[in-house]
Structure 1
Amino acid sequence: MHDVVIVGAGPVGLLLACELGLAGCSVLVLEKESEQGSPWRTQPLGMRGLFGFSIGAFYRRGLLDAIVDASSFPDGRDVRPQPDGPSPPRAVGHFAGMVLDPANVDMADLPFRLPSPSPDFTMISLQAVESLLSERAAELGVDIRHGVTVDAVEQDEDRVVVSAGEAGFEARWGVGCDGGRSAVRRLAGFDFDGTDPEFTGYTVVGTLADPAKLRPGFNLTPTGMYIRMAGDGHIAMLDFDGGAFDRSRQPTRDHLQTVLRRVSGTDVTLNDVRLASTFTDRAKQATTYRQGRVLLAGDAAHIHSPLGGQGLNTGIGDAVNLGWKLAATVRGHAPDGLLDTYSQERHPIGAQVLDWSRAQVSIMRPDRHAQAIQGVVRDLLGTRDGTTYVFEKVSGSSVRYDLGSAHPLVGRNAPNFRFDDGTCLGELMRDGLGVILDFSADGRLSGPAAAWRSRLCHVAGAPADDLGLGAVLVRPDGTVAWADDHDFSADEFERAASRWFGRP
């Protein structure tokens, strides 16, 4: 019997498997697709944006170089940040089809920011992410099986049984990372609530007879939106039909051309279609991410439109938050209630992402009221404050878990503190342990930290910039669990460490 069975070998399931494998857990991953390499996961259709919060998660596990090497921008830009930051991000993205200027981001306004080799944004294919995570998972002893379609999920007080035909797979815990149409979510009885769609979206790869009639990039129009990617025949469009066409039938060339002409306001001709799919802005979320011994992560826990590119990034946040907590539970040293904090922390983040998606849809509607609001929002987004606000939201800079502390750093992603020998915090976290940063002159945490040496890495010394802090406790997911100024006491640290890492 495995410790954990994960259903779904996409980026979220594989990253979770790596986190668990790193902690010494026995992990089985089941994937219904027989092999990788679908055109929907390669360039151009499989390209996704990774923002700073997500890239930082890979950096902390020693995968930054692999992510950067696999990244691909159409203009060939270098995604690595300048060594002496802070510098403006390479891209901000868009809000409701309105593209923002990264030069407008006020880096000085971002909280607790220190220079890092991890970029703020990059583009990468799903296949590239899955390939590097599959390789890392195999190195960690994770068992990945393709071509397995799950048709039953049962659990009792001690185990979960995931079945596929006559085959049954037992584990102490089960996690559904199997996408928006999650079988695990349905079979385990999770409630899935939200809002119905307002548009059908189309992703098309084909050729145009007269491509000059379509402006490149994002184009928000009075009847919808279209996106023309430069040079690769990739077009996306949104048609506000209430989601009526999605999943109803296969889109033909004639239908796609009709929609493209309507939303673009041109008589453009679509010569041929090589690939086409549909999607909607349906926005739903599991009411809880845990039912007994079964948990959900990624699109299995929440679905929404792809506006703003938050789906993959939100799923990565789920995986790194859940991984260390489930591992501690499996290994028997988790404090009471630790696993429940996964849903408590990540559910509000998922709800915010769904509302972020809904807000964009609401001002893209083809009616005069929405377009009037759109004009106001466009003016606000053109300001420095407006662009910075959006960047904070999409990059993950604004993510802060409520951990019950008034300290402004607690609950946030930890800054990348750098020490005299050149070592950075991100590099200290590759083994998946939490980290104690003791900046005090007397190294007062050396004694107490020794009690948690199997779960916490203790580092003493003054960093290049301590941000006015005396000590910081960082969870394995990169979240600051406790921080205090130079007058802190060892007792305060011990209470915080016991809360998150159990008894020494």
Structure 2
Amino acid sequence: MDTDVLVVGAGPTGLMLAHELRLGGVSTVLVDRLPERSELSRAGGVTPRTMELLDQRGLLEPLLATGDYPMSLGHFAARLLDPGDLDGRLPGRFIPQTVIEKFLADRLADHGLAVRWAHDLIALSADEDGVTATLRHGTTTRTVRSAFLVAADGAHSTVRTLLGIAFPGRPGTDTSVVADVRLRYPRPPRSEPQLGPEPGDIGQSHTVAADGNWAMQFPLGGDLRRLALGGPAHSLPRQTPVTEEEIRAGLRTVYGEAVELAELRYAYRITNAARQVADYRRGRVLLAGDAAHIHLPIGGQGMNTGIQDAVNLGWKLAATVHNWAPRGLLDTYQSERHPVAARVLRTVQAQSLLMDWTGTGGPDLLAARQLFDTLLQLPDTKRYLTTMMAGLDIHYPMPEQPDHPLLGRRAPDLDLATGSGPVRLHELLRTGRGLLIDPTGDPNLAALTHPWKDRVDHLPTTTPTDALLIRPDGHICWAAPSPYPPQHLEPALLHWFGRA
């Protein structure tokens, strides 16, 4: 083999996966067909769960140190959600995708793994032993043999096309405009802008004009803003260029004289296509991010779902390469992540309907939106939607384990007392290994885990908490309350970490 894993696509998903594979000691080649890293911001919202994952890998603090990134006001269908309902300590933030990509690429380069730009995948074949990819770079071609290949090459995935993998779902039926802009406010915006339908809210808003055209805007740091324009005036063929005049006219329609265009950085059209591959794995080829699922970019869920795909897949792929993965471990990537993206597609479609993305202004839609606004006043409804949009409610199935409220869920960000001083649980996950949190003082629990010491760290603590076995991706795969019966611990170790 030339490399253990060939990752095709150096967007956020591919870059994060390369980080996970490096942490797992797996040789990786990362290629992208673009001549260089894109400067287009594309996505911008980073959810609390993705913030946690970056923190668990020691990436969050240095990323935030690269700039001033405002906190994100979570929303569902442009209705403000209360971050106070979340049980995590890290709020979401607006961090442009281009910033995240540059940061991850630079960190990889620091470890000797550079993105190979301008490498176009032109042929691909897979067999029982590995994958053979033919790459074109300028006027030369090269064949790369890898044990596995991961397609992280976006909505128009070359890997998916070459292998004839179907991408079922709904084609785009409507378009809207997305732009990075600087704006002037002849009439000052509110001092504390809130996300909502109020016409006067021009800070962070979804504002609808009488003719069904609408605008949304969010901060991207400094005076740069992400602007979306939609409705009848902007539903044009996707390849139609977006002009400054269209942006200016859209702002006048929605805001009148309250907002003016100062600078247009770039703009493009998006569609409401919703597609997802049926299988995330075909033999030794796996799909992640937009190569596996696409949807209308509402709520910043696309980039976040892709990064979370990468963290779920990375340690399982590394375990498989190192030949200690238990039978079926790699297949849990499909069983765990496919339902997550399927729910994202459903909720995005529901949001686009409630927001009247196409600008129909139908009375039935208005009635549904009024009912939704009423339901959103219920604390349980708001908490459910807030937690879901933050990505904090993801719950993976954990077979053959007794019920426990934390089982299958993300590990809580606990402060733990240890013999060497206090430590945050999330900091302990930076090794990319499994972790047993042991408040028992029972030597039998430590003895049970010891045969897996090359894959699972054991942490005694005096903090009163349930005993927890945590996977490298931060999800709990065994939990026991006091008096900590250990009889299900060994099956969990075997199921997720292989034979001792």
**TM-score normalized by the length of structure 2:** 0.87
Contact residue 18 and residue 140 of structure 1 kept, 8 A: no
Q: Which runs of 5+ in 1 are unaligned?
A: 75-89
Q: Aligned letter for 1:106?
A: D
Q: Name the residue aligned to 2:81.
A: 100
Partner Cα distance (2:374, 2:415) in 1: 39
Q: Name the residue aligned to 1:333.
A: 324
Partner Cα distance (2:60, 2:171) in 1: 38
Contact residue 246 and residue 280 of structure 1 kept, 8 A: no
Deviation at 1:4, TM superposition (A): 0.1
Deviation at 1:283, TM superposition (A): 1.0
> How many residues align structurally?
469
Q: Name the residue aligned to 1:122.
A: 93
Show the 5 A alignment for 1:225-304: 225-229=214-218, 231-232=223-224, 234-239=226-231, 245-260=236-251, 273-304=264-295
Q: Name the residue aligned to 1:436.
A: 436
Q: Which runs of 5+ in 2 are unaligned?
A: 188-199
Contact residue 18 and residue 30 of structure 2 kept, 8 A: yes
Contact residue 179 and residue 267 of structure 2 kept, 8 A: yes
Deviation at 1:476, TM superposition (A): 0.3
Q: Judging changes above 3 Å, is the alpha-carbon distance between structure 1 residues 442 and 144 closer, same or farther for their aligned structure 2 residues?
A: same
Matched, 1:476 2:472: yes
Q: Judging changes above 3 Å, is the alpha-carbon distance between structure 1 residues 443 and 396 closer, same or farther for their aligned structure 2 residues?
A: farther
**Residue 144 of structure 1 aligns to a residue in which SS?**
coil
Q: Name the residue aligned to 1:219.
A: 206
Show the 5 A alignment for 1:373-412: 373-404=368-399, 405=401, 406-412=403-409
Contact residue 435 and residue 457 of structure 2 kept, 8 A: yes
Deviation at 1:207, TM superposition (A): 6.8
**Residue 135 of structure 1 aligns to a residue in which SS?**
helix
Partner Cα distance (1:266, 1:189) in 2: 51
Q: Name the residue aligned to 1:83.
A: none
Deviations 1:314-369 (A, max 9, x none): 11110010000000000000000000000110000000000110000111222221
Q: Aligned letter for 2:101?
A: E
Q: Judging changes above 3 Å, is the alpha-carbon distance between structure 1 residues 153 and 228 closer, same or farther for their aligned structure 2 residues?
A: same
Partner Cα distance (1:106, 1:301) in 2: 31
Q: Name the residue aligned to 1:79.
A: none
**Residue 359 of structure 1 aligns to a residue in which SS?**
helix
Contact residue 177 and residue 296 of structure 1 kept, 8 A: yes
Contact residue 216 and residue 227 of structure 1 kept, 8 A: no
**Residue 377 of structure 1 aligns to a residue in which SS?**
helix
Q: Name the residue aligned to 2:414.
A: 417
Matched, 1:34 2:25: no
Contact residue 20 and residue 324 of structure 1 kept, 8 A: yes
Contact residue 124 and residue 132 of structure 2 kept, 8 A: yes
Counterpart of 2:354 (choices 348, 363, 376) is: 363
Partner Cα distance (2:488, 2:329) in 1: 19
Q: Judging changes above 3 Å, is the alpha-carbon distance between structure 1 residues 224 and 392 closer, same or farther for their aligned structure 2 residues?
A: farther
Contact residue 218 and residue 225 of structure 1 kept, 8 A: no
Partner Cα distance (2:281, 2:371) in 1: 41
Contact residue 186 and residue 258 of structure 2 kept, 8 A: no
Contact residue 22 and residue 140 of structure 1 kept, 8 A: no
Deviations 1:260-307 (A, max 9, x none): 555668898768755221112211111111011100111111111111
Partner Cα distance (1:363, 1:198) in 2: 17
**TM-score normalized by the length of structure 1:** 0.86
Counterpart of 1:159 (choices 118, 122, 130) is: 130
Q: Name the residue aligned to 2:498.
A: 502
Q: Judging changes above 3 Å, is the alpha-carbon distance between structure 1 residues 262 and 154 closer, same or farther for their aligned structure 2 residues?
A: farther
Contact residue 443 and residue 460 of structure 1 kept, 8 A: no
Q: Name the residue aligned to 2:461.
A: 461
Contact residue 152 and residue 164 of structure 1 kept, 8 A: yes
Matched, 1:169 2:160: no
**Residue 416 of structure 2 aligns to a residue in which SS?**
coil
Deviates more, 1:55-64 or 1:294-303: 55-64
Deviation at 1:461, TM superposition (A): 2.5
Partner Cα distance (1:448, 1:215) in 2: 59
Q: Aligned letter for 1:27?
A: T
Contact residue 302 and residue 350 of structure 1 kept, 8 A: yes
Contact residue 180 and residue 300 of structure 1 kept, 8 A: yes
Deviations 1:425-462 (A, max 9, x none): 21112111000112113232111211001000011222
Q: Judging changes above 3 Å, is the alpha-carbon distance between structure 1 residues 330 and 246 closer, same or farther for their aligned structure 2 residues?
A: farther
Q: Aligned letter for 1:54?
A: T
**Residue 179 of structure 2 aligns to a residue in which SS?**
strand
Deviation at 1:100, TM superposition (A): 3.3
CA RMSD of aligned residues (A): 2.6
Q: Name the residue aligned to 1:80.
A: none
